[in-house]
Amino acid sequence: MESVYLDSVKISEVVVQPDDIFQICNVLAMAGWLALLVSPFFPKLADGVAALAIPVLLAVAYAGLILAFWSRAEGGFDTLPSVMQLFTQPEVALAGWIHYLAFDLFVGAWEVRTARAERIPFLIVIPCLALTFLFGPAGYLAFTALRAARAAIPATSHAGVAQ
Amino acid sequence: MTTDVLMDQSRSFNASFAAEPFRRHPLFAGAALCLVVLMAPTLFAMALDQRTFLDINVWIKPFKFQVALSIYLVTLAWFAGWLPARVTASLWHRIFSMIIVLAISAEMIWILGAAALGVASHFNNSSPLAIALYATMGVLAVVLTSAAPVYGIVILRDRTSRLDPVFRLSVGIGLIATFVLTVAAAGYMSGSGSHFVGGVHSDAGGLAPMGWARDGGDLRVAHFFATHAMHFIPVFGFIAGRLLPAGQGRVAVFAFAGLFVGLVAYTFAEALSGRAFLAMLS
């Protein structure tokens, strides 16, 4: 009778490299952004993929990395050099990267949902999505500016823009 | 007879079976679901982390506790459906349930934290803090196990119950036996400094799927059977209640419970004498 624990030790000796996880997570995030791009055609599906399924998968990877490697990381949140030191450990840097991927995508999905609810044409949301994809908070800022601008314009002229 | 879902063949089995614990005790079922969700990052950490404790991956222990505690919570949620409505609606029951969930949460955080740090959780006497934590978690373990006998006593004393009397007896005895036997077995274990008796103090090469020692005694075997009295005895009682008249069913339940206590005592004595459980399989 062979123990499963021996096996699991063997499994854990098959090293899952941070680079592999990095690649997989990038592909996952990309799939989420593609879902957002085609969201006008499949709004429910896109929302389920980009706001729930993929962020949850990324969150599992993030939480697993933090469980496994946080206690060994040097550095902290208190000073900039401490934070930079945290990111000198590959697994912690990877966790940080997955954090970006997950939250940027989640914000992107929120922008799409909000735009749909507020009847903002999808074409002008796309630049905000591109910015959110590349530079997270900058995209959020652009989308917020867009909403503020639309709120400032009197409702009647919306129709004029649309026509 | 009863209208319980277990015995109601007409209902769609799968959907109601998964949703039933949430109807019976939303807090316990929800807490169990949280533990199940927690398994995902724990298993992911296991796949990445090379560190071992007693020669096995540090994340195996948290995973085992997530499995065990979620089974415990779902079982309690199921049995909660057989408590009188005045009890489930009462303030004390709500507060008691919260205490149980808080105790389980604290145990889980302690065990996950120890795994993250790569140190022992149980049997950790390396520092005053570790000793204090271990002692506190011992108290909380008794607290979380106390839900079983409390439910058992309430179910036994409920004369308005619609449950089959033989089954009801077995549920009550099983729940109370879980507490008494677990506190005895686990209490002795914690006092003896290790769950291994003789053999190499290593978890590698243990008896699957639990990882019990095969080269010496392992007190966790008795702990396992002790804690599962709440499953074994009611399953027997359910069958006995269907096959036997009430009088004989009752006797059969008492006899089975006696045999089960004997099994726990046997595995306990076997471990104490340094012999492995099911040594013939090794």
- ipTM, 2 decimals? 0.77
Instruction: Tell me whether residue A161 is in a domain.
Output: no
Averaged pLDDT, B172-185: 96
CB pair distance less than 8 Å for B41 and A67:
yes
The residue written with tokens 């950790």 in the block is B124
Residue-level pLDDT at B142: 95
Instruction: Note whether A60 contacts B44, CB cutoff 8 Å.
Output: yes
Residue A63 corresponds to which tokens in the numbers above? 């939480």
Residue of A nearest to B213 (CA): A3
Residue located via tokens 């949301």: A125
Q: What is the reported pLDDT for A128?
A: 96
In a domain, A39, yes or no: yes
| Interchain contact, A67 vs B116, CB within 8 Å | yes
Q: Is residue A33 part of a domain?
A: yes
- Tell whether A6 is covered by a domain: no
> In this complex, do B205 and A3 lie within 8 Å of one another by their Cβ atoms?
yes
Using CA coordinates, name the residue in chain A closest to B55.
A9
β-pair type (B56-57, B196-197)? unpaired
Residue A48 falls inside a structural domain: yes
- DSSP codes, chain A: ---HHHHHHHHHHS---HHHHHHHHHHHHHHHHHHHHTTTTSHHHHHIIIIIIHHHHHHHHHHHHHHHHGGG----SSSHHHHHHHTTSHHHHHHHHHHHHHHHHHHHHHHHHHHHHTT--HHHHHHHHHHHHHHTHHHHHHHHHHHHHHHHS-HHHHHHHH-
pLDDT at A14 over 70: no
Q: What is the pLDDT of residue B210?
A: 84
Partner-chain contact B59 A5, CB within 8 Å: no
Q: Flag if B50 and A13 touch (Cβ within 8 Å).
A: yes
pLDDT tens, residue by residue, B198-229: 877 777 778 878 888 888 888 999 999 999 99
Measured CA distances, A24 to A29, A55, A95, B42, B167 (Å): 9, 13, 13, 19, 51
**Which is nearest to B109 in space by CA: B34, B178, B172?**
B34
- Mean pLDDT, residues A15-34 taken together: 91
Residue A142 resides in a domain: yes
Contact between A12 and B49 using a beta-carbon 8 Å cutoff: yes
Average pLDDT on A128-142 reads: 96
Q: pLDDT tens digit string along B226-264? A: 999 999 999 999 999 999 998 999 999 999 999 999 999
The residue range of the domain holding A23 is: 16-154
Q: Which range is least confidently modeled, A113-122, B31-40, B54-63?
A: B54-63
Report whether pLDDT(B2) > 80: no
Task: State residue A8's pLDDT score.
Answer: 44
Question: Given a cut of 80, is residue B279 above it in pLDDT?
Answer: no
pLDDT at residue B62 in the model: 95
Mutation target vs A (from B44, B54, B67, B112; most A CBs, 10 A cutoff) = B44
Length reported for chain B: 282
Residue A97 placed within a domain? yes
Residues in a beta bridge with B52: B57
Tokens of A154: 């009197």
How many Å lie between the alpha carbon of A137 and the closest alpha carbon of chain B? 27
CA–CA dist B51, B59 (Å, integer): 9
A67–B57 CB contact, under 8 Å: no
User: Quick check: A5 and B42 CB within 8 A?
Assistant: no
Please count the structural domains in chain A: 1
Nearest 5 degrees, angle CA B12-CA B14-CA B16? 65
Residue carrying structure tokens 């999808």: A122
| CA pair distance A25, A4, nearest whole angstrom | 29
Mean pLDDT of chain B: 89
More confident residue, A103 or B133: A103
- Give the residue on A whose Cα is nearest the Cα of B208: A3
Asked, for residue A159, whether it belongs to a domain, the answer is no
The letter for the amino acid at B236 is F
Report yes or no: A6 at the B interface, CB cutoff 8 Å.
Answer: yes
Query: How far is residue B267's CA from residue A119's CA, in Å, rounded to a whole number?
Result: 69
Show which of residues 74-113 on chain A sit within 8 Å of chain B, judged by CB atoms: 91
Task: Decide if A43 contacts A116 (C-beta within 8 A).
Answer: yes
- Span B143-156, mean pLDDT? 96
Q: How far is B189 from chain A (nearest CA, A)?
A: 22
B178-194 average pLDDT score: 90
> Is it the case that residue B1 has pLDDT exceeding 50?
no
Please report which confidence band the pLDDT of residue B72 belongs to, taking 50, 70 and 90 as the band edges.
very high
The residue behind tokens 């490697």 is A69
Say if the Cβ atoms of A67 and B203 lie within 8 Å: no
Interface of A with B in 45-74 (CB under 8 A): 60-65, 67-71
- Tell me which residue in A8, A16, A71 faces B60 most closely, judged by beta carbons: A8
**DSSP string of A118-130?**
TT--HHHHHHHHH
* pTM, full prediction: 0.84
Report how far residue B2's alpha carbon sits from residue B9's, in angstroms, rounded to the nearest whole number.
Answer: 12
From B58, which residue of chain A is nearest by alpha-carbon distance? A68
